[in-house]
Amino acid sequence: MLLAVMASSTEQSLPELTDKETREKVSHWDRRADPMAPLTDKQTESVLEIRAAAEVALLPAELPIEDICSLTSRSLRSAFTATLPESTEEVLLQGFQTLELENHRIQTAQQFFSWFSKLQVQMDQDEASKYRRTRDALQGYQEQCDAILSDVNAALEHLQSLQKQYLFVSTKTGTLHEACEQLLKEQSELVDLAESIQEKLSYFNALENINSKLNSPTLSVNSEGFIPMLSKLDECIEYVLSHPHFKDYPVYLTKFKQCLSKAMLLIKSHTVSTLQNLTAQLSKRVRLVCSMIRSHMIVSVPVHLLNMTRAGPAGRSERRQRLHALLCEVQSSGSQSSEAH
């Protein structure tokens, strides 16, 4: 009620305008200079799109034939692409042409019912064709999905096979890695054992080398390798004596002692030869010194005797001192000659 009163009051307050005045006032809304309701570029584009769509608008399918026939091009404010029929008969003729029945005549009720039955069957077929096409499309989609599902299942089976192969290879690789580590450990142990055995055998293998050196005619006590050979021989004998549980312990101990005996024999021979040479040289020196002493004594005895007879006990003491000094000189000369040799 309140709204009706307000609407009536508004209508009464508005002045009555003619069509010309109304068009003039409406034109003020979108005039180029100082428009009353200016539009943005986006709004203008929207209006143009609506106008273009309205120009190609089709007549609604629910419009009765009589209304379509009553329409004229002048009564429409927008241009339509479809041509308007001139009468109802033209509309029916176009419908029969669509159904391919323009040459058939219906004169009896039976013909009408027969035609209507065919038309209904055709309409049902046309209606069902849409569902059949949809069904065929869905069946095609189903076949594609089945094919994709089959490919996915095949890919999954292939992946499972690859996973099994990977697990198999991984297990074998782990086993091989463990075996390699075990072999490396055993190899290290064998290398240590071989080195230990080689170290133990080195004492026994040295026997042949020592024996060949001792049997060499060029070997002498003054050679550079004689002292190291004796040291190695002592080490071998000490090692064999510290391991009496070895199988060939008595054999190698006997051989090493034989080598030691040979070495001692060489040392003894060298010592005896050296002493003999020194003795011969010292004998020559002693004889020479003695001859010198005798000659000196022969020359100086009368003087000494004279002095002794004259000096008495003091002269005899001086003579003893001189003889002692002469003896010390002989002994020192003999020791120097022995050190030189």
Q: Is 338 helix (H, G, I), strand (E, B) or coil?
A: helix
DSSP 299-311: HHHHHHHHHHHHH
Task: Tell me the average pLDDT across 58-73.
Answer: 58
For residue 147, the model assigns a pLDDT of 95
- Mean pLDDT across the chain: 76
* Phi, psi dihedrals of residue 163, rounded to the nearest 5°: -65, -45
Query: Which ranges in the chain belong to alpha helices (H)?
Result: 2-13, 19-27, 41-55, 65-70, 88-98, 109-214, 226-242, 249-311, 313-340
Residue 24 predicted with pLDDT over 70: yes
Greatest mean pLDDT range, 52-61, 99-108, 200-209, 332-341: 200-209
For residue 179, the model assigns a pLDDT of 94
Residue 268 predicted with pLDDT over 70: yes
% residues pLDDT > 70 (the chain): 65
Task: Tell me the average pLDDT across 167-194.
Answer: 94
d(CA 90, CA 48) in angstroms, rounded, equals 36
**Helix 249-311 × helix 109-214 angle, to 10°:** 40
For residue 14 the two structure tokens come to 């508005």
For residue 331, the model assigns a pLDDT of 60
d(CA 51, CA 57) in angstroms, rounded, equals 10
* CB neighbourhood size of 233 (10 A): 21
Task: Tell me the average pLDDT across 255-284.
Answer: 86
For residue 150, the model assigns a pLDDT of 95
Residue with tokens 């060939």: 248
Q: Is the pTM of this model over 0.75?
A: no
Task: Tell me the average pLDDT across 100-109.
Answer: 69
Residue 186 or residue 324, greater confidence: 186
Residue 211 predicted with pLDDT over 60: yes
Residue 105 or residue 71, greater confidence: 105
For residue 167 the two structure tokens come to 């697990």
User: Contact, 246 vs 240, CB < 8 A?
Assistant: yes
d(CA 284, CA 269) in angstroms, rounded, equals 23
For residue 189, the model assigns a pLDDT of 94
